[in-house]
Structure 1
């Protein structure tokens, strides 16, 4: 049975959404055991009356919590925090993956100092899945916030790692890679964009499409989009906000008067489908590619639906042992 550690503390919504997700998850999948890391009393209280099979989890008590507002230094200042202990379980091979919805700055610090990067990877990357206009199809984009700056070699490594993931887990034979830029022309962008373009184009292990503009992120043009962490984070949050606001405006317009309400009733399934397609909670987490082990970060405000999708992503990464496959690809020196 595969073991996954969950950092139970430090999220915006507390323990309850994680417990609700676990209740659904353990009924759906029988091959995962969880180590729930955090305040034992609080976790037990959250588990009370949830009727989750006790043989599917254990609780590791910790005395400290890294708050969402705290930074990277808290990893050193709070050695008995749930985040640090979860990362240590992974580093010491006590579990096969580590999941957290806590402080991003502290999470990045724990990943770097406790888990460590693969040889040949200078900067790991957050890789979420972004829905596209094609039903059931997402695009992988990295980095979306693990780094503020990246160079051309980083972007090539991102493309290689995501390509392995796409082949191994998504069963894509020849996934396409796009470089996020301000125009399609090869001459567009900063110097590192131009350098990355040439390196991606010349790499036989990458199916390079070319530059892709931000407006085409959800257009299902490519399978993978590579960019620096700052730009990727801005793009991701813009898309999430736009999707949320668009649905709010649609609801407002469709319920403005009785006539629209009546017409909207006949289209409710269509609108429900649109909402479901662009609901970021279906893909609320991001894999941390480039580490020696499987680590996953989810939104601090993740609800139960978001946590279920997060745990499912983690399970897929673990059972497919994709980190070793990425390591083998990077060792080729391409």
Structure 2
């Protein structure tokens, strides 16, 4: 039986949506217990309202404090009974196998550092989400998506190693292809960071490094893993999410403009549904903090039920496949 701690207090929409998502996710998971961490009264009210969940499938870890989106990274030290802090402590004491939160990103990063620490050889863990591609059933792991403003070539090399292990273990990719996000595909392109990272990746014969990748190829499925620094990664990911959202909205708006467009849309209903499912970022609405000494995930604070379900699925898959211990072994290889 697996256990996942869920800090339900810090997200934009409050604990109700998070609890509803967890109950929905538990419908087909008989080998999982979710530990709701947060205000007991609010959690119980959400459970009672949602219903249809066995008391053997969840536990409540009550807390008296939480860190909201307007909080500070210092709240990790100030608020000892904050739901985020307690959820991380449950991972650290091995009372759960993993955790997720939709709360304050900075507090999450600080809490992970102070409570869990990092894997051997890791100085700066990175956010690693997945995003869809044009290749059916192929996703790309993308890191760092914003945990750091500055990274070293060694950081990016380690990210590639950890992501490769994750891809093999969780996604079942036999020999993951790795690309370095850059301003051109030719060798030696980019700033000093990209040039030195390219050299490290090229020299590591344990990795299947395919060279530099431009941002316009992010959704093509050219590689299984795309590595970059946290500042660039965060800008690129948010631009991609925003573009996807705008395009889907534009298609819908234009279909509604004329009767003939509506008729045409009826015949293309399945096509539109497939495109929406593939490129809706809510299907990929969370990221593992790769390099942390624990399986810990950060969900979008604005997630709805669908978004939290997708992040729960990612957390469950990582726990079920024992990815942390496999990454530890990878980092032990010199």
Q: TM-score normalised to the size of structure 2?
A: 0.98
Quote the offset at 1:171 in angstroms: 1.4
Name the residue aligned to 1:179. Answer: 180
Query: Paired residue for 1:63?
Result: 64
Name the structure 2 match of 1:276.
277
Aligned counterparts of 2:40 and 2:271: Cα–Cα separation in 1: 45
State how far apart, in whole Å, the 1-side matches of 2:242 and 2:184 are. Answer: 23
Are 1:11 and 2:5 counterparts?
Answer: no
Pairing 1:1-334 to 2, within 5 Å after superposition: 1-49=1-49, 50-333=51-334
- 1:66-111 Cα deviation digits (max 9, x unpaired): 0112121110111110000111111111111111000001000111
Shift of 1:279: 0.6
- What's the offset of the Cα at 1:20? 1.8
Shift of 1:35: 1.2
Alpha-carbon distance in structure 2 between the residues aligned to 1:192 and 1:26: 43
**Cα deviation digits, residues 155-196 of structure 1 (max 9, x gap):** 000000000011111111111000000111112111011011
Deviations along 1:297-318, whole A, 9 cap, x unmatched? 1000111111111111111111
> C-alpha displacement at 1:135, in angstroms?
2.2
DSSP-derived class of the 1:85 partner: helix
CA shift at 1:296, angstroms?
A: 0.5
**SS of residue in 2 equivalent to 1:287:** strand
CA distance in 2 between partners of 1:255 and 1:2 (Å): 46
- Give yes or no for contact 1:101–1:297 (8 Å, CA) kept in 2: yes
Cα separation, 2, equivalents of 1:67 and 1:27: 29
Give structure 1 regions of 4+ aligned residues with deviation exceeding 4 angstroms: none
What is the TM-score when the length of structure 1 is the normalising length?
0.98
Q: Is the contact between residue 98 and residue 294 of structure 1 (CA under 8 Å) also seen in structure 2?
A: yes
Cα distance, 1:136 vs. partner?
2.2
**CA distance, structure 2, for counterparts of residue 57 and residue 278 of structure 1:** 32
- Say if 1:136 and 1:277, in contact at 8 Å, map to a contact too: no
Q: Any gaps of 5 or more consecutive residues in structure 2?
A: none
The alignment partner of 1:128 has SS state of: strand
Task: Output the CA distance in 2 between the equivalents of 1:24 and 1:97.
Answer: 19
Q: 1:150 offset after TM fit, Å?
A: 0.4
User: Any conservation in 1 of the 2:16–2:42 contact (CA below 8 Å)?
Assistant: no
- TM-superposition CA deviations, 1:94-150 (whole Å, max 9, x none): 111111000001000111111110111111111100100112221000000111110
Judge conservation of contact 2:12–2:302 (CA < 8 Å) in 1.
Answer: yes
SS at match of 2:254: helix
Q: State the aligned residue count.
A: 333
Q: Distance in 1 between matches of 2:323 and 2:263?
A: 50
Counterparts of 2:56 and 2:47, CA distance in 1: 13
- The residue matched to 2:100 in structure 1 has which SS? strand
Give secondary structure in 2 for the equivalent of 1:177.
strand
CA distance in 2, matches of 1:290, 1:67: 25
